[in-house]
């Protein structure tokens, strides 16, 4: 009989081993799938975005002609500010390609250079008034179509993206390129400017400042409140229905979709209290409500990890409850709480949907400087740009994503480092 | 004084109150009677009590003033308008108010404004200046007065410690209760606007209606613009995309968790687990961009090829539900895997050993012992992942469509509840049109459904969990 059983087992053994192998394979492929997605996502974003860190510039030989600029007095600030710099650039382009005639061709020619190039000239002139009337070489921003062409061209003109350029423009660009008057440089504009409709002068500075201000408000509000709530729940809360109710609410809030918090902000802060739309203050308040559960939960864990013996020793020496908390529990739990707070802030930094609801999606050129200036945030800027049809905005969107991911990775790395270095094991 | 300076001034007054309260308490400590021991409480508590007395009332007053200032000033200005203007609908009054504000701030509004608007702008500047002066004067004098009273009132036997400790505890309690206030605020804000919506559109038309086109007629006699608020296509679209997402996330998340906890060595686990969790930390707007610009075109092209190959008469939309669902699935893989990992790890080792000891292979142990034991936890994890998927906004806003198609075909474009909320509420809106209010009704549905899923998930865990220890 036992022989029969062993035969039965042996007969199935190969099959069972195969099943075992298959199962392992499923597991490995599941993990492989996840990691492949991660890898693909990052390479896709970086592949699309790395080009945005370089920007095409065109060398022009400009003459700061007072007549063209319409400047009669160099010391008159308003006149210098409102001068016709675009005219000087157009003049320079016409001088460079003297055989261009006809309105349409001229307009095509002018389109080689960005509309923002005038600002560069203005800055130059404001810094050095003696340049008036002089003739000099200057590198100005190229238009985004030229930029896209140059970047997609590489060393082989056949591969280039030429859909938005006319044949004549191609010819001009190739001429300029051949004589070294077109160059790619580090894209400072991207980090120094606010939003713009022109891709080549659009930057993330405004959005970045908006995000920082919003995060500042979020941190100032959510960290003290979250820590206070955690202390109450861990140290004071009696075991009763009210405490249970608070805990249920915190757990539920942690799972409420973020867009609902946006609806709350819209209905309460903007509609009921008539606060201004699009400002980091309201954005920060909404994100505070959203991140509070995260901070409370991690702060509670940090408080729990402080050994009771320390608290008991302090109490035994006559410390009051408040003294025990302020002098012993809080300092010992602080690294854990900060770690939780950083992770909560990283969450808030990446959040978009609630900010859409409270109007932080406006087109804002100015760089916000205070918590009640209209602003957008970095993720919202990504959302706005991703809707733009220009190819140059695609690379800028990807570059903005890279900046955002850079911030998030740094924040999380700091959190991990803090947990390793500062958290004490008892 | 502007508000931030005022706030700083108040903080300084509070700090001064603390220091001088402490000083006074120390000076009261009579050396002949044994120094501090004749004080009921330490000087710190006396100082803190003075600071609390002067800080809490004045800061609360400042907060309240700032919260209600705008609406009160607005009412004041509007009540000064001519009667004919006053009877305009609320939305136009709001626009009028904006014009007045712009004039008052000196912005160029283009046309010559009506004289009553200029007058209102002048009055607005006047009232705002008065209000700012008022709040500065009142809060600072309140603060100083309370500080003086509190400091003067210090005497050795005063039980400052008890008072400070009680206040401390109460402040903590208020912070903890904020979670309740938030929930209540969510419920009320969504509920009130939804009730206003249901006054205009019957509840059952909303929940069971098959057509969604939230355009309202601008004029009463306009043809064909009455608007349809049947939310079924939105619910269907949401479910379709969430279903696709779960189809991706549940098998791979679960298998990844099983492999990591049962097969992988500690080293592999330590590297792979954080890497997978990165997927959960990537902002949703990034996934949205990825879905809209990479995955959706890929599916459109390759899907189009497959459809041609099979000779089907179908168009693959560039905003297909499949693209949004796939990417959303990738996003929630780590969510499913870490929740399942926790419950699998909670299954006692003795059960594994028992099963292996009886001759079962590892996979048989997993299938027949571990998964059944961990099932309640896994189910609850899946429910939580579903609630995540339903409430996810940015991916679908960027990658799914706007047209409310009632279809089960994942290659077509569908729209979801969250997409509609965003499109209805982004930009300027009037708060009395059903179009805007419908977004709140959708928000209510979303809130109720996600809440229910969470409650059920918790219940499943509580009720069906096997107690091993």
**Residue pLDDT, tens place only, B412-426:** 889 999 999 998 888
Max CA distance (Å), chain A:
115
Determine the distance in angstroms separating the CA of A213 from the nearest CA of chain B, rounded to an integer.
15
Shortest CA distance from A267: residue in chain B: B189
| Chain B interface disruption, residue of A222, A238, A256, A282, most B CBs within 10 A | A256
Percent helix, strand, coil in chain A (nearest 5)?
Answer: 70, 5, 25
Tell me the C-alpha distance between A223 and A228, whole Å: 8
- Find out whether B261 and B344 touch, Cβ atoms under 8 Å: yes
Helix (H, G, I), strand (E, B) or coil at A139: strand
pLDDT band at B91 (very low <50, low <70, confident <90, very high): low
**Distance, CA of B368 to CA of B352 (rounded, Å):** 10
Alpha carbons within 13 angstroms on the beta-carbon side of residue A162 total: 15
How many angstroms separate the CA atoms of A254 and B403, rounded? 31
Q: Which of A246, A267, A379 sits opposite B285 (nearest CB)?
A: A379
Q: Which helix (H) or strand (E) covers residue A137, if one does?
A: strand A135-141
Contact A352/B283, CB-based, under 8 Å? yes
Q: How far apart are CA A346 and CA A415, in angstroms?
A: 10
Query: Helix (H, G, I), strand (E, B), or coil: what is residue B439?
Result: helix
The 10s digit of each residue's pLDDT in A378-398 is 999 999 999 888 888 999 999
Which pLDDT band holds residue B466 (cuts at 50, 70, 90)? Answer: low
Residues in B touching A226 (Cβ below 8 Å): 175
Q: How far is CA B27 from CA B145, B157, B295, in A?
A: 21, 14, 74
- Are A404 and B286 inside 8 Å of each other by CB? yes
A260: chain B residues, CB-CB within 8 Å: 186, 190, 391, 443, 446-447, 450
First to last CA, chain A: 59
Q: What is the pLDDT of residues A112-149, one digit of tens each?
A: 888 888 888 888 888 888 888 888 888 888 888 888 88
**Is B180's CB within 8 Å of A20's CB?**
no
From CA B120, how far away is CA B411, in angstroms rounded?
57
Cβ within 8 Å, pair B394-A383: yes
Alpha helices in B282-361 (DSSP H): 284-290, 296-309, 321-346, 349-357
Please report residues of A whose CB lies closer than 8 A to that of B124: none
Q: What is the ipTM of this complex?
A: 0.91
Phi, then psi, of A61 in degrees rounded to 5: -100, 100
Percentage of chain B beyond pLDDT 70 is: 92
* DSSP letter (8 states) at residue B1: -
A188: closest CA of chain B, how far (Å): 23
Nearest CA in chain B to A17: B361
SS3 A387: coil
Model pLDDT for residues B158-201, shown as the tens digit of each residue: 888 999 999 999 999 999 999 899 999 999 889 988 999 998 88
DSSP class per residue in B156-211:
TT--HHHHHHHHHHHHHHHHHHHHHHHHHHHHHHHHHHHHHHHHHS-HHHHHH---
Name the residue facing B185 among A268, A382, A404 (closest C-beta).
A268
Binary contact (B258, A259; C-beta < 8 A): no
Q: What is the pLDDT of residues A17-75, one digit of tens each?
A: 999 999 999 999 999 999 999 999 999 999 999 989 999 998 888 888 888 888 777 77
The closest CB to that of B361, out of A16, A273, A382, belongs to: A16
Query: Is the separation of the CB atoms in B1 and B9 below 8 Å?
Result: yes
B182 CB neighbours in chain A (<8 A) are 249, 253, 264, 289, 292
HSE of A267 in the Cβ direction (CA atoms, 13 Å)? 26
Residues of B in contact with A380 (CB under 8 A): 285
Contact assignment for B284 to A24 by CB distance below 8 Å: no
Ramachandran category for residue B407: left, alpha or beta (phi over 0 → left; psi -120 to 50 → alpha)? beta
> What CATH code would you report for A205-422?
1.10.3720.10
Tell me whether strands A54-63 and A135-141 are parallel, antiparallel or unpaired. antiparallel
Please indicate whether, in this complex, the C-beta atoms of A405 and B286 are within 8 angstroms of each other: yes
> Is the CB of residue B396 less than 8 Å from the CB of residue B419?
yes
Q: What is the mean pLDDT of residues A326-338?
A: 92
- Number of A to B CB contacts under 8 A, please give it: 254
- pLDDT for position A36: 95
Token pair listed for B224? 């064909």
B337 contacts A249? CB cut-off 8 A: no
Q: Which residue out of A223, A263, A278, A348 would a mutagenesis test of the B interface target, given it has the greatest number of B Cβ atoms within 10 Å?
A: A263
Predicted confidence (pLDDT) per residue in B103-118, tens digit: 877 766 666 777 777 8
HEC profile of B94-112: HHHHHHHHHHHCCCCCCCC
**Per the CB < 8 Å rule, is A353 touching B440?**
no
Q: What confidence score (pLDDT) does residue A380 get? A: 94
Q: Which residue of B has its CA nearest to A237?
A: B173
Residue A371: other Cβ atoms inside 10 A: 19
pLDDT reported for residue A275: 83
- Domain borders along chain A are 3-50, 52-187, 205-422
The closest of A417, A378, A323, A401 to A48, measured between CA atoms, is A401
Residue A324: pLDDT over 90: yes
At residue B17's C-alpha, the angle toward residues B16 and B21, to 5°, is 115
């Amino acid at each position: 009989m036992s022989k029969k059983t062993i035969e039965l087992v042996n007969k199935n053994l190969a099959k069972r081993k195969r099943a075992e192998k298959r199962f392992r394979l499923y597991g490995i492929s599941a993990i492989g799938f996840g990691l492949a997605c991660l890898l693909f996502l990052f390479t896709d974003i970086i592949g699309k975005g790395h080009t945005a860190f370089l920007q095409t510039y065109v060398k022009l030989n400009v003459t700061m002609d007072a007549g063209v600029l319409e400047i009669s007095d160099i010391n008159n600030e308003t006149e210098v500010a409102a001068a016709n710099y675009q005219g000087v650039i157009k003049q320079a382009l016409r001088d460079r390609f003297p055989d261009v005639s006809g309105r349409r061709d001229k307009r095509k020619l002018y389109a080689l250079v960005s509309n923002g190039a005038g600002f560069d000239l203005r800055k130059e002139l404001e810094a050095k008034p003696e340049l008036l009337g002089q003739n000099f070489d200057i590198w100005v921003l190229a238009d985004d179509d030229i930029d896209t062409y140059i970047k997609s061209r590489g060393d082989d003109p056949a591969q280039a993206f030429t859909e938005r350029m006319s044949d004549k423009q191609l010819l001009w660009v190739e001429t300029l390129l051949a004589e070294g008057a077109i160059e790619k440089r580090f894209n400072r504009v991207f980090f120094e400017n606010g939003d713009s409709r022109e891709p080549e002068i659009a930057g993330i500075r405004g959005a970045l400042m908006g995000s920082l201000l919003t995060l500042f408000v979020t941190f100032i509000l959510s960290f003290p409140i979250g820590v206070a709530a955690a202390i109450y729940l861990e140290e004071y809360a009696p075991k009763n229905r009210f405490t249970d109710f608070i805990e249920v609410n915190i757990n539920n809030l942690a799972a409420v979709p973020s867009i609902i918090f946006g609806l709350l902000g819209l209905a309460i802060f903007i509609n009921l209290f008539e606060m201004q739309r699009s400002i980091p203050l309201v954005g920060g308040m909404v994100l505070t409500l959203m991140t509070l559960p995260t901070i409370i939960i991690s702060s509670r864990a940090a408080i729990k990890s402080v050994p009771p013996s320390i608290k008991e020793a302090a109490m035994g020496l006559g410390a009051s409850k408040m003294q025990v908390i302020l002098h012993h529990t809080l300092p010992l739990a602080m690294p854990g709480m900060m770690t939780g707070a950083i992770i909560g802030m990283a969450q808030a930094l990446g959040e978009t949907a609630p900010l859409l609801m409270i109007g932080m999606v406006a087109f804002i050129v100015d760089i916000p400087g205070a918590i009640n200036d209209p602003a957008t945030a970095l993720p919202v800027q990504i959302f706005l740009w991703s809707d733009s049809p220009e190819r140059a905005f695609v690379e800028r969107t990807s570059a903005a994503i890279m900046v955002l991911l850079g911030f998030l990775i740094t924040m999380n790395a700091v959190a991990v480092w803090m947990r390793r270095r500062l958290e004490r094991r008892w | 004084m502007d508000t931030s300076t005022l706030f700083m001034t108040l903080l300084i007054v509070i700090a001064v109150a603390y220091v001088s309260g402490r000083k006074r308490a120390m000076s009261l400590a009579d050396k002949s009677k044994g120094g501090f021991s004749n004080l009921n409480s330490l000087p710190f508590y006396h100082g803190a009590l003075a600071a609390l007395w002067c800080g809490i009332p004045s800061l609360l007053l400042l907060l309240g003033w700032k919260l209600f200032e705008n609406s009160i000033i607005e009412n004041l200005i509007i009540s000064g308008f001519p009667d004919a203007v006053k009877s305009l609908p609320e939305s136009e009054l709001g626009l009028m108010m904006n014009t007045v504000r712009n004039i008052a701030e000196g912005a160029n509004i283009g046309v010559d404004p009506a004289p009553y608007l200029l007058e209102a702008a002048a009055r607005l500047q006047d009232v705002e200046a008065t209000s700012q002066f008022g709040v500065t004067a009142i809060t600072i004098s309140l603060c100083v007065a309370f500080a003086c009273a509190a400091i003067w009132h210090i005497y050795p036997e005063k039980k400052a410690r008890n008072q400070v400790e009680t206040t401390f505890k109460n402040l903590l309690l208020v912070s903890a209760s904020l979670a309740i206030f938030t929930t209540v605020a969510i419920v009320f804000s969504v509920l009130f606007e939804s009730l206003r919506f249901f006054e205009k559109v019957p509840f059952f038309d909303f929940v069971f209606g098959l057509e969604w086109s939230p355009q309202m007629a601008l004029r009463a006699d306009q043809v064909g613009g009455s608007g349809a608020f049947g939310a079924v296509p939105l619910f269907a679209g949401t479910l379709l995309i969430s279903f696709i997402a779960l189809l991706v996330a549940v098998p791979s998340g679960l298998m990844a968790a099983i492999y990591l906890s049962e097969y992988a060595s500690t080293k592999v686990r330590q590297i792979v687990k954080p890497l997978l969790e990165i997927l959960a930390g990537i902002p949703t707007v990034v996934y949205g961009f990825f879905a809209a610009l990479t995955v959706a075109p890929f599916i459109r092209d390759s899907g189009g090829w497959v459809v041609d190959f099979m000779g089907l008469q179908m168009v693959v939309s560039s905003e297909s539900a499949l693209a949004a669902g796939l990417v959303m699935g990738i996003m929630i893989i780590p969510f499913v895997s870490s929740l399942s990992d926790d419950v699998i790890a909670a299954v006692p080792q003795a059960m594994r050993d028992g099963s292996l000891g009886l001759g079962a292979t590892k996979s048989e142990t997993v299938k027949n012992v571990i998964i059944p034991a961990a099932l309640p936890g896994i189910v609850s994890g899946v429910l939580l992942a579903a609630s995540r998927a339903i409430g996810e906004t940015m991916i679908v806003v960027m990658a799914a469509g706007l047209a409310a198609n009632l279809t089960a075909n994942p290659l077509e474009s569908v729209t979801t509840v969250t997409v509609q909320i965003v499109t209805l509420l982004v930009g300027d809106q009037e708060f009395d049109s059903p179009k805007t209010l419908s977004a709140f009704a959708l928000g209510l549905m979303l809130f109720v459904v996600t809440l229910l899923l969470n409650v059920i998930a918790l219940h499943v865990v509580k009720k069906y969990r096997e107690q091993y220890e």
